[in-house]
Amino acid sequence: MNIIEVNKLLKTYPKPENKKEFFNAVDGISFNIKEGEIYGILGPNGAGKTSTLEMLEGLNDIDGGSASIDGLDVSADPFKVKQIIGVQLQSNEYFDRINLSELLILFGKLYSQKTDPLELLGKVDLLDKSKAKPDELSGGQKQRFSIACALVNNPKVLFLDEPTTGLDPQAKRNLWNLVRELNDAGMTIVLTTHNMEEAEYLCNRIAIMDKGQLIAEDTPQKLIMKHASVPPKAPLHGNIEDVFLALTGHELRD
């Protein structure tokens, strides 16, 4: 069963060099995401990944096409959609004089939810930081706390935009484990990433975007065998990074 359906999605912006001309940051893409999937969207900088997520999340207007989440039209029912999704952004700014428990209670009230902050902090392995302020956390701890904030409404779908950018290897692995645990509990997860290992390890299916268009979509294994089956100096086949480079021609950038 599809929990997300996207049909000919379009996002248009003025060109930086000439505001009277426009370009399609997201150029009529279509895809479906099954309930309970971890679905990854990869692409070079400027490919349209974040714009796609922002439209699905109701944070940016849809200029053409349509998108629905759990049967709700994103354009027609943005408030209802926000009630069933969780959003972890690339960066977050919090009230720096409020501790983590108090912040989670505050965010819960925004959803008219009674929140158990200790339960949420336990899910993201931050129980011992319940009285800490956000600026007292490490980079990995801040990323995990941002996910706790996205979970206050017990969402059906969790959106993660480059969740491990800037994290050390151990913090990255800890966050991967958290994503797997949430998914094992039944949550659908949609993520963007520049980390090819992350995409290959976590995702059931991967969509690769370039210049606003979706240029490939399949399981990591099938993408590898189709586009990187015999990479140079490799005994068997390539990996998702080889697929990405073969399809987009871009070098990876943070």
Distance CA 154, CA 167 (A): 25
pLDDT at 19 over 70: yes
* Residue 87 confidence (pLDDT) above 70: yes
Segment 44-71 shows an average pLDDT of: 95
pLDDT level of residue 122 (50, 70, 90 thresholds):
very high
Q: Give the neighbor-by-neighbor strand order of the sheet with 2-15.
A: 18-34, 2-15, 64-69, 72-73
Select from 250, 227, 246 the least CA-distant residue to 237. Answer: 227
* Integer Cα distance of 236 and 245 in angstroms: 18
pLDDT value, residue 232: 55
Using one digit for the tens of pLDDT, what is the confidence trace for 193-240? 988 889 999 999 999 999 999 999 999 999 989 888 766 565 556 677
Contact 228, 40 (CB under 8 A): no
Q: Are 9 and 62 in contact (CB under 8 A)?
A: yes
Q: Is the predicted pLDDT of residue 173 greater than 90, yes or no?
A: no
- Domain 2-219: which CATH number of 3.90.1280.10, 3.30.830.10, 1.10.1370.30, 3.40.50.300: 3.40.50.300
